[in-house]
A and B are shown apart, each in its own frame.
Chain A
Amino acid sequence: MAEPLLEVRNLKVHFPTDDGLVRAVDGISFQIMPGETLGVVGESGSGKSVSFLTVMGLISRREAIIEGEVIFQGQDLLKLPPEEMRHIRGARISMIFQDPMTSLHPFYRVGDQIAEAIRAHQKISKKEAFDQAVDMLRRVGIPKPEERARQYPHEFSGGMRQRAMIAMALSLNPDLLIADEPTTALDVTVQAQILDLIDRLREEFNAAVVIITHDLGVVAEHCDHIQVMYAGKIVEYGTAEDIYYAPHHPYTWGLLGSITRLDEESKGRLRPIKGLPPSLIFVPPGCAFHPRCPYAFDRCRVEVPELLPVDGHHAAACHLPLEDKRRIFAEEVAARA
């Protein structure tokens, strides 16, 4: 098997605050292979954004205690000096964000902002960088890119701004693109366009892609693998088929139960997960999900479940016996969906 592009080992990101230690990311390990698409799903506060901001080196060590390893192309990014990390950030790993309305600087022309990203990593003239920026805008499907590059962000619609962000992120042909909730702030029709664009560009640029989202429905058809996060931990990992058709974690069942589906006749109301995500300062003992889990039993309250592979690719952190999981999913979750 090929070398993984990115391998995260036992990553912890803890923020000391006046109220106590916030365990935003609490020991996660995963791999991304070159060219693959990984979906990262979880509620707000599950640690999905923080873990990838840490990969990008955008979490300051002045604010957070960071432990573990982030091996990217054989180098541990957490040990790199800031100046070397800067050369990777934006060039070999790049990132787009949730809200394209606020992610571009309001005072600078869109083309100049993209050109600035290029010039941060390549020694070329402003003119050349700007021409490349125009070319990138064309490749992400922005009409009249020469004109658009000279406009300011407020003259762009939300979808166009996200395209511009994608153009910026791909302008240095990175090996890994991290998309943090890229469509959350956009209209539903635009969401689909943006995801299709990311799909197409992934092939064109041959980059691995991480799509972070709170909506399982979004990543369904765009991801090879999906990892589900809860309270700073990965609770389930598998192929898209595993997660959709044979999920093993009650939290994933809950996420599936709260997707609206228009393609099939609905057999019942949406079933939201009861309760709220836990405090990351006082994480419940045992399985962090147990207070909200209808299937929890004594062991769940005391022992933290490990993320154990069931077969080669599918793993879940849950104490329920496998037969029970299969039975409950078939009887209660799949039947209602």
Chain B
Amino acid sequence: MLRYIVRRLLWVAVTLLLITFLTYLIFFVMPPTDPAVNFAGKQPTPELVAEVRKQFGLDKPVLIQYALFVKRIFLGDEYGWPGLGFSFNTRSALKPIIYERFLVTLQLALGSAILWLLVGVPIGILSALRPRSIFDRLAMGFALFGVSTPVFFLGPVLLYVFWFKLGWLPGTGFYSITKYGPGTWFMHMIMPWSVLALAFAAFYARMTRGNLIEVMGEDYIRTARAKGLTERRVVAKHGLRASLTPVVTMLGLDLGGLLGGALITETVFNLKGLGNYAVESVFSGDLYAILDVTIIAAFAVTLANLIVDIIYAFLDPRVRYT
């Protein structure tokens, strides 16, 4: 088990290094123009360009530049750890901005994940236990609707109905729990959570259903029944245990993906999260901010993968030894 974790950790280190390398290539080496000018913002004065060149070490050979880049990320820079650099557009350190944005995205992603698990998994289980029943058909109809409804359509429709017409829910924007209290925060998050969760809930319902139906046909389920266990125990202990492990994998990957920013949901509901920030930065040409979001998104996916793999080893004894 320990060996397995250590080996996974080593791989993660290699992957993270590779990510930084590719990011560096894309942002610093590949553009045909001078990177110092690119990073200096919209009105690059010669002084500014010189300052950028000095700060990034762009006057040094490329490999040294890259080493400095990696060092800044992993060991921190003059603005703290991790080193997220400085925006010459806004003339401010990026770390506090990105930290704040990341918290918003984190709240959106976690709340939404809880919601889609609570909705998707039970629907999938009930459908699988009575395949082709009326419930199953309705649930899979819902799943089809959920998977195929885009957020940019559903979001405005919900806003129109529940905010503009019915007035049951407040409108867009992020109201932090510390400043406005849990009630306001919660009411403002309901719609973003639901909209983001819908497609996932639909997908998880289908996946849970498919897995459980497959597992319930396995030989070891027949053995469990042959032992004389109650059907409840057969499903709960033998069926679900085996069919929910892939769900854990998907959850890790989906959460990891979302932490890089749920771009459309954040934009529709005007939540100042990472995805939203990436879009703003693209429009304002804030190159270092884009670089940061890119790296955070990639790191989030990698680390989520690591966590999933470790959890998986606890869930499936066969993994530990391979």
Residues of A within 8 A of B (CB): 56, 58, 82, 86-91, 94-95, 97, 99, 102-107, 116-117, 120-121, 152, 154, 165, 168
Contact = CB atoms under 8 A, between A and B. Distances in A.
B228 A58 contact: no
B228 A120 contact: yes
9 contacts: A86-B228, A89-B228, A90-B227, A94-B226, A94-B227, A103-B222, A105-B220, A106-B317, A154-B318
A107 B316 contact: yes
Given A103-B219, A103-B220, A106-B220, A56 B226 contact: yes
Q: For the complex, would chain B's binding face be called helix, strand, loop or mixed by DSSP majority?
A: helix
Given A152-B317, A154-B318, A106 B242 contact: yes
A97 B230 CA distance: 20
A105 B229 CA distance: 14
A97 B227 CA distance: 12
B214 to A, nearest CB: 13
A58 B220 contact: no
Contacts of B222: 58, 97, 103
B186 to A, nearest CB: 37
A88 B227 CA distance: 9
In the A-B complex, the 6 residue pairs with the closest CB atoms: A90-B228, A117-B227, A102-B219, A90-B227, A89-B228, A105-B220
B218 interface: yes
Nearest to B219: A102
Given A89-B226, A121-B228, A106 B219 contact: no
B228 A152 contact: no
A117 B227 CA distance: 5
A48 to B, nearest CB: 16
Interface of B: 218-220, 222-231, 233, 238, 241-242, 315-318, 321
Given A97-B219, A99-B219, A165-B223, A106 B238 contact: no
A90 B318 contact: no
Contacts of B318: 106, 152, 154
A186 B160 CA distance: 66
A168 B229 CA distance: 13
Contacts of B218: 102
B195 to A, nearest CB: 36
Contacts of A121: 228
A235 to B, nearest CB: 27
Contacts of B231: 82
A56 to B, nearest CB: 6
A95 B218 CA distance: 16
B317 A154 contact: yes
Given A56-B226, A97-B219, A116-B229, 6 more contacts: A82-B231, A94-B227, A103-B219, A105-B224, A117-B227, A120-B230
A179 to B, nearest CB: 12
B223 A116 contact: no
B135 to A, nearest CB: 15
A56 B226 CA distance: 7
A104 B220 contact: yes
B230 A86 contact: yes
